[in-house]
Amino acid sequence: MCKGLAALPHTCLERAKEIKTKLGTLLQKPDSTIDFIIPYPEKPEKPPKAQKPSPEEALQWRESLEKLLQNPYGLASFRSFLRSEFSEENAEFWVACEDYKKTKSPVKMAEKAKKIYEEFIQTEAPKEVNIDHFTKAVTMKNLVEPSPTSFDMAQKRIFALMEKDSLPRFVRSEFYQELIK
């Protein structure tokens, strides 16, 4: 049994160092696919007041999901709304695809493609998006040789889903109604 630092036998010190090393390794090296989630910068629930859109600008979001998603305040508001409905994965997937398209390095592109696939596309993914089997198959085929357009079909399907389903509910929400006053 190990007692007191001064009286520690050589084997106890070795064991303590081994445990410390293993703990450090566990904290640094992810072991499961859930740990490979794409690191996105945390967005505040509500952006600073200076970024708040005018009522006229917010009114445009009713007609254009694209304008909503391109506005940092609009995107944060929409994501917060989707989070309340337990469907934030759709906006997260859309954002991940937009980020992916900007990637220039083929190595980085392959890494991001794998992460997006594991997080959003594969069956039982942590944040699996609702796409049909054909779209999933096309996306998987596109990932054999990743390109900026690898996720285009899936991204368009999710955009259409958000546009037809989530956007109408968002524009009826209290938070959106406050923005347009």
* pLDDT on residue 52: 87
What is the per-residue pLDDT across 136-181, written as a single tens digit (0 to 9) for each? Answer: 999 999 999 999 999 999 999 999 999 999 999 999 998 899 888 8
Q: Which domains does the chain have, with CATH numbers?
A: 55-178 (1.10.167.10)
Task: Answer whether residue 57 shows pLDDT above 70.
Answer: yes
Region for residue 110 given its phi and psi (left: phi exceeds 0; alpha: psi -120 to 50; beta: otherwise): alpha
The HSE-up count of residue 156 (CA atoms within 13 Å, CB side) is 7
CA distance 56 to 156: 27
Report residue 10's pLDDT band, with 50, 70 and 90 as the boundaries. Answer: low
pTM: 0.70
Is a pLDDT exceeding 70 seen at residue 34? no
Question: What percent of the chain is modeled with pLDDT above 70?
Answer: 72
The set of residues, in sequence order, having a beta carbon less than 8 Å from that of 68 and lying 6+ positions away, is 61, 74, 75, 78, 167, 170
What is d(CA 100, CA 94) in angstroms, rounded to the nearest whole number? 10
Residue 5 DSSP code? S
Q: What pLDDT shows up at residue 30?
A: 42
pLDDT of 62 strictly over 50: yes
DSSP 9: -
Q: Is the confidence at residue 36, as pLDDT, over 80?
A: no
